[in-house]
Amino acid sequence: MTPLPIALSCGEPAGVGLELAEKAWQALRDELAFFLIADPFHLPGGVPVILLTDPAEATAAMPKGLPVLPMAFDGNAVPGAPDSDNASAIMDAIALGTSLAMQGKVSALCTAPIHKKALKDGAGFGFPGHTEYLAHLAGVENVVMMLASEQLKVVPATIHISLSDVPKVLTPQLLRDTVHITARGLQDQFGIENPRIAIAGLNPHAGEGGAMGMEELDWINETITQLIQEGYDLIGPLPADTMFHTAARSKYDAAIAMYHDQALIPIKTLDFDKGVNVTLGLPFIRTSPDHGTAFDIAGQGIANPSSLVEALKMAARMARSKAGV
């Protein structure tokens, strides 16, 4: 049976998402089926468009034109200038994609970038990002954000919070939950039966025996020891500055970092063009490009579609694996 199409939510129309959706269609039109949830009037117009009345029509439409499930937006799409009148529809497009995924009408949800502050200002978006919003929509408490590429899979234990809040939010339970969800995701969505996970310390040199911070001695060491005793294949806490070079990465399947930039700097340095944002712990497959709205280049036609293409291909691979095909 032909796998179900992937739903692609449009994200911020003033960003590069719609341009990249057109480029992704050109790259993938003969490889997989996705449809864009967007206002057709916002599209740059670079490719033929086929308006859908039902997601099921996307597979037949894909070779002929970019399938679009139309959603009316109140605002305009001016590159680089988010229109607050679009904010609620941007959220609705994500919610529609989530609903279709939860109903099993699409094989996965891929999300084009949103501008978090624009959504907050325009529609009171009360979440730090897609990850937390999707967990809320799906009714699940614990999910993790993984950035994945062939060179590195990395998960920040804390995401969109200030650095000053990281030590307060980091707890043994959060680390335990993160290890559990990451290990399950590596097994279920990446087919790694016995995943090896490296865990970064919070402090420089993983605390240097207490000389540069006490969290490792106070609870991180003990939590990791307990998790190893429970059967997880873990190493750490490691000094973060020496756990991402080539030789170090060969010793693990995924790394867990303690905060956003400790995780995202290495992967966006190693593989910005092919990195994919995957949410683990949802009851459906969700991927996203590893970049944002790129307002500084929006409208110029120069955005690189590689990350979105990889995100769609990864979602399709995961869907086929889940369906046993």
Ligand X SMILES: NC(=O)c1ccc[n+]([C@@H]2O[C@H](COP(=O)([O-])OP(=O)(O)OC[C@H]3O[C@@H](n4cnc5c(N)ncnc54)[C@H](O)[C@@H]3O)[C@@H](O)[C@H]2O)c1
| 131 in a labelled binding site | yes
Least distance to ligand 4TP, CB of residue 74, Å: 22
Residue 313 engages ligand 4TP in binding (rule: CB under 6 A): no
Q: 289 near 307, Cβ under 8 Å?
A: yes
| 205 in a labelled binding site | yes
**Mask 210-229, x = binds ligand 4TP (CB under 6 A)?**
--------------------
Residues of this chain that bind ligand X (CB under 6 A): 16, 113-117, 130, 277, 288, 291-294, 296-297, 303-304, 307
In terms of CB distance, is 130 or 153 closer to ligand 4TP?
130
CA distance 61 to 41: 19
Q: From the list ligand X, ligand 4TP, none, which binds 264 (C-beta under 5 to 8 Å, kind-based)?
A: ligand 4TP
Q: From the list ligand 4TP, ligand X, none, which binds 75 (C-beta under 5 to 8 Å, kind-based)?
A: none
Residue 115 engages ligand 4TP in binding (rule: CB under 6 A): no
| 180 in a labelled binding site | no
Least distance to ligand X, CB of residue 163, Å: 16
Q: From the list ligand 4TP, ligand X, none, which binds 303 (C-beta under 5 to 8 Å, kind-based)?
A: ligand X
| 86 in a labelled binding site | no
Residue 98 engages ligand 4TP in binding (rule: CB under 6 A): no
**Site for ligand 4TP (CB under 6 A): how many residues?**
9
Amino acid letter, 289: P
Residue found by looking up tokens 């033929």 in the block? 48
Apex CA 166: angle with CA 161 and CA 169, to 5°? Answer: 95
Least distance to ligand X, CB of residue 292, Å: 2
**Mask 237-276, x = binds ligand 4TP (CB under 6 A)?**
---------------------------x------------
In terms of CB distance, is 19 or 290 closer to ligand 4TP?
290
Q: From the list ligand 4TP, ligand X, none, which binds 293 (C-beta under 5 to 8 Å, kind-based)?
A: ligand X
Q: From the list ligand 4TP, ligand X, none, which binds 297 (C-beta under 5 to 8 Å, kind-based)?
A: ligand X
Q: What is the 3-state secondary structure (H, E, C) of the chain?
A: CCCCCEEEECCCCCCCHHHHHHHHHHHHCCCCCEEEEECHHHCCCCCCEEECCCHHHHHHHCCCCEEEEECCCCCCCECCECCHHHHHHHHHHHHHHHHHHHCCCCCEEEECCCCHHHHHHHHCCCCCCHHHHHHHHHCCCCCEEEEECCCCEEEECCCCCCHHHHHHHCCHHHHHHHHHHHHHHHHHCCCCCCCEEEEECCCHHHHHHHECECHHHHHHHHHHHHHHHCCCEEEEEECHHHCCCHHHHCCCCEEEECCHHHHHHHHHHHHCCCCEEEEECCCCCEEEECCCCCCCCCCCCCCCCHHHHHHHHHHHHHHHHHHCC
Binding residues for a divalent metal cation: 160, 205, 260
| Residues flagged as binding site for substrate | 130-131, 268, 277, 286
Residues that bind ligand 4TP (CB under 6 A): 114, 129-131, 145, 264, 277, 288, 290
